[in-house]
Amino acid sequence: MLKNIILSSMLILTIGLFGAWYYAFYMPTHFKRKVADEKGIDISAAEIVKAYQTNEQIANLSYLNKTLAVTGEITVIKQDQTGRTTVELKSDDAFAGVFCTLNSDNNQIKAGQQITIKGFCTGFLSDVVLSEAEIVK
Measured in Å, how far apart are the chain's first and last C-alpha atoms?
A: 67
Q: pLDDT tens digit string along 58-68? A: 999 999 999 99
- Report pLDDT for 23: 75
List for the chain the helix, strand, coil content (%; round to 5).
Answer: 35, 35, 30
Q: pLDDT tens digit string along 120-134? A: 999 998 899 999 999
